[in-house]
Structure 1
Amino acid sequence: MTSKPTTAGTAAAASAVSKAGPRRRGRPVKSENDSLRGELIKRSAYLFRTQGYDNTTVRDIAAATGIHSGSWFYHFKTKQEILAAVMEQGMTESLASLEAIGLHTLAPRMAFQRLVEVHLHTMLAPNHDFIPVLLYEWRSLDKDARSRIVKLKDRYEAIWDEVIAALHQSGDWSMPTRLDRLFLFGALNWTAQWYKPGRTGLEELAAQAVTFILRTSPRPA
């Protein structure tokens, strides 16, 4: 976990509003429910990531979304609920991305590289704040919400375990251990602290990460 930035809540919220443009204020009509709920989750993720969960207020979230503070409670009863929704959305989207790859059709090393690419994209692509919030604000979740996120996390890691087992059988990763997986995720997740867009593309970054983790270059075709 890292220390949370001390950016002023009102300034961050105003910045988020200016980036997205103004929204109509007031209680949302039914046709807006899904889109407004999604916008609340997205803007909350941005605020939780940039200024921290504890430093983000209900007023910040309402201002960033362009609604009255009371309208916020039309979708979520507490700030804790929206934190859980941010993490659930991040894990759900990540799972969908992994499951869409078709890993069983790929050679083990390529399947592993695709997993790394998806993970890095989830962490580093613009407006992808959900998973970083999960990493930095995990301890802010209540017990019930944490159990729901753990189930999604277990499904996510099970996909990685299957590919790592195939890597071991192919000889590309000679002796993977449980600690190796922890080192793997630790290294990938820490890129959120130092990666700067433009210097290295995400695909190239993923390829270099795979070489570093497996300690071998791709085999000649």
Structure 2
Amino acid sequence: MPQKPQKNQITSTAASKPEPVAASASPKKRGRPVQNEADSRRQELIDKSALLFRTQGYDNTTVRDIAAAVGIQAGSWFYHFKSKHEILVAVMEQGMAASLADIEAIAIHNLPPRLAFERLVAAHLHTLLAPDHDYITVLLYEWRSVDQHSRARIIALKDRYEAIWDEVIAALHASGEWAMPTKFDRLLTFGALNWSAQWFRRGAGVSIEELAQQATQFILRTPAAK
């Protein structure tokens, strides 16, 4: 905890007037950083770790790698997380929460089913492919590294995410726009979209928005109405 500067003890007597006491400099803060600084540093650790886990792999990333990326001493890392595994869970949980917030913001009830589906596809692809979006890719490829106890919170977010997709897919089935529905439509859709993280290259002439339109047409097998 930061040390509080001690108050100057000034005494006086009737016989003499005390000499003025110069204000002493506040002692240098030690220990844990103040709250705002701690929050900022914790978020930086999550961001840098997500990038390292995606590019190097979780097993190949060390605590020293993370500390060096943030510019802190290796020991300071433990003010924010107890272990590398704990930061992996934080990366996945934060990524899943952000993805859920993105699709919850889509007013699916006020959109035609196909347009709602295309918006979900675009949001999903943006989460996977946009610059500095490393979180969900880490979740996809490092899920085996998370222990059973830690999976529960992430799975709860994932279930809410998938429920929104199921609602839109059911509306597409009902409208006839999904010509030959199956009980695996969402799983097959996610499989196709998630694999784009392996081959999509930013700046190669195709935007994420255009890819979302093409993916929607591929999945539904019909062009959008003019």
TM-score, scaled relative to structure 2: 0.84
More helix by share: 1
Q: Does 1:92 align with 2:100?
A: no
Q: Which has the larger radius of gyration?
A: 2
How big is each residue's C-alpha offset from its partner over 1:143-190, in whole Å with a ceiling of 9 and x where there is no partner?
A: 111122111111100000000011111111134223222211111000
Q: Which amino acid aligns with 1:33?
A: A
How big is each residue's C-alpha offset from its partner over 1:66-96, in whole Å with a ceiling of 9 and x where there is no partner?
A: 1111111111101111000000010000011
Residue of structure 1 equivalent to 2:213: 207
Residue of structure 1 equivalent to 2:67: 62
Residue of structure 2 equivalent to 1:163: 168
1:57 CA drift (Å)? 0.5
How big is each residue's C-alpha offset from its partner over 1:17-74, in whole Å with a ceiling of 9 and x where there is no partner?
A: xxxxxxxxx9533320111111110100000000000000001111111111111111
State the alpha-carbon separation in 2 of the partners of residues 166 and 71 from structure 1: 51
Aligned counterpart in structure 2 of residue 72 of structure 1, from 64, 70, 77 = 77
Q: Which amino acid aligns with 1:108?
A: P
Residue of structure 2 equivalent to 1:6: none
Residue of structure 2 equivalent to 1:3: none
Write out the 4+ residue segments of structure 1 that deviate beyond 6 Å after TM superposition: none
Aligned length: 195
RMSD value, Cα: 1.2
Runs of at least 5 residues in structure 2 that lack an aligned partner in the other structure: 1-30
State the alpha-carbon separation in 2 of the partners of residues 61 and 28 from structure 1: 18
Runs of at least 5 residues in structure 1 that lack an aligned partner in the other structure: 1-25
State the alpha-carbon separation in 2 of the partners of residues 176 and 126 from structure 1: 34
More displaced stretch, 195-204 vs 127-136: 195-204
For residues 7-86 of structure 1, the aligned pairs below 5 Å read 28-86=33-91
